[in-house]
Amino acid sequence: MANIPAFGIPPYGLSFFGAFVAYWVIWIIYCRTLYPLARVPVYRMLRGDLEVAQNKLHKKYRPLICIAPEEVSCADASVISLIYSSHSPLPKTDCENADLFSETNEEKHTKRRKIVSSAYQMSSVLRNEPAIDECITLFTKQVRELAVKKEVINLGEWINFYPHDVLGPVLFSRRFGYLETGGDVGSFLNALDKAVPFIYVIAAASNYIRKALMFLSIFIPGTLGHLQAIQATTYAAKQQTQLRMERSTQEKDSRPDILSQLLHISRKLNQKNHLPSAPVSYNETVKHLPYIGACIKEALRLFPTVGFSLPRVAPPQGIVLRGQNIPSGYVVGVNPHTIQFNTEVFGDDAEEFRPERWLESQARNFEMEKNLLSFGAGTRTCVGKNIALAEMYKFIPEALRNFDIYMAHDGPLKTWNAGFIRQNGLITRIAEQA
């Protein structure tokens, strides 16, 4: 034993370890006592259900909670016009390789948006309505063949194919082929699913962490390919469309009163000369099918795709939210999933799927729409909003006209929040309309 050398911890090692521990002890004490946001309750969550956790915390501590060392989430409808003003908007938080979505400089963002805005106006989108009709017709044909076989269908997968194939001819002059093949062409959808969580972490991280993650990504097989795949301007609009249509289908099946209304609409759609267009046009749905529009708005309200606070930076003079001064440079924001459950705006039954709330009065409808953040707010409203609305307003009436759709199980849809909320489990039984 005497010949075995002894390896002890060198003195400088102990000093380094002691300094490391002391740093974090002092940092924790500082954050709990002297930190400017020490009085704001803190959010801690890494389970992929941020929007659910924020709702619970706002109910307990409302209206302000701290969700990061220098970021505050607010659940008060009165701050929306303050944070997301169209006239003097607060800047977005910084992001690597800024594009139209993430550009922090308001002047640059305005210039970029003007370049493409005309292509995304509803009038321009509707000039491409025949291309959307082709996708709906193809969807109907493919699903009808599956319905004849009386197979259990993963309708969520097919709904995912539809908005992607619509975006093909609208933005790139041809379909991608998801509906024709009934599969993930080129594994693009799989690439999106893998890339989005990584990109969300990069966007939310501090600058020094962000640069390290971008460097490490070259060692992760396939990551660079996923990052390149997501550069197309397709993700947000298609996510809105997919999630809204999936949720509308599930809620219809779980609520007999809603089902009765929609069955009545489907019978009217199948009456000769009621709505001559096939597929139904966007304007026909808006004008003649208000209950369908109410269902879409209610799905947008209860199930927003964006699952995080829309971050903005407090101005040089700071900002006061609900009597709490937020210093300059700190991040403030409102989570759509939180504000759209606000009982002061949407009523005591805000957690229920009740489309009728959108049909009660024009004044209330206007007030609720002001607090609907599903497509963002102010100058940063999603540029693909009109494409998503056109897809939904045309698809849902046509699905009702052609099919009876029922859930094949009693379980809830599973969701995962990686910035944008993803879900699966829309397994259905489908029969053709008699």
Q: Which pLDDT value is given to residue 192?
A: 77
CATH of the domain at 114: 1.10.630.10
- C-alpha span between 51 and 304 (Å, rounded): 10
Q: Domain residues for 133?
A: 38-419
**CB under 8 Å, gap of 24 or more: what pairs does 119-127 form?**
120/383, 120/384, 120/385, 120/386, 120/387, 121/386, 122/386, 122/389, 122/390, 125/170, 125/386, 125/387, 125/390, 126/282, 126/283, 126/390
- Interval 196-232: pLDDT, tens: 777 666 666 555 555 555 555 555 545 444 444 444 4
Residue 340 is assigned to a structural domain of this protein: yes
Kindly report which listed range (14-23, 82-91, 300-309) carries the lowest average pLDDT score: 14-23
> Is a pLDDT exceeding 80 seen at residue 403?
yes
Residue 252 is assigned to a structural domain of this protein: yes
Residue 208 neighbours by CB under 8 Å, 6+ apart: none
Residue 96 is assigned to a structural domain of this protein: yes
| Residue 11, token pair as written in the block | 């003195």
Give the chain's domain count: 1
> Is a pLDDT exceeding 70 seen at residue 351?
yes
Note the residue count of the chain.
434
Residue 185 is assigned to a structural domain of this protein: yes
Residue 25 is assigned to a structural domain of this protein: no
Q: Which pLDDT value is given to residue 381?
A: 86
Q: Which pLDDT value is given to residue 3?
A: 47
- Interval 116-145: pLDDT, tens: 777 788 998 899 899 999 999 999 999 999
Residue 424 is assigned to a structural domain of this protein: no
Q: Known binding site for heme: residues?
A: 382
Q: Identify the residue with better confidence: 248 or 77.
A: 77
- The pLDDT of 273-290, averaged and rounded, is 83
Q: Known binding site: residues?
A: 382
> Is a pLDDT exceeding 70 seen at residue 90?
yes
- The pLDDT of 244-249, averaged and rounded, is 54
- C-alpha span between 63 and 78 (Å, rounded): 11
Q: Which pLDDT value is given to residue 1?
A: 40
pLDDT band at residue 271 under the 50/70/90 scheme? low
Amino acid present at 2: A
Q: Do the strands 427-432 and 403-407 form a parallel or antiparallel pair, or are they unpaired? A: antiparallel
3-state secondary structure of 86: coil
Q: Evaluate whether 295 touches 396 at the Cβ level (below 8 Å).
A: yes
pLDDT band at residue 7 under the 50/70/90 scheme? very low
- The pLDDT of 405-428, averaged and rounded, is 78
- C-alpha span between 176 and 232 (Å, rounded): 13
Residue 29 is assigned to a structural domain of this protein: no
Residue 425 is assigned to a structural domain of this protein: no
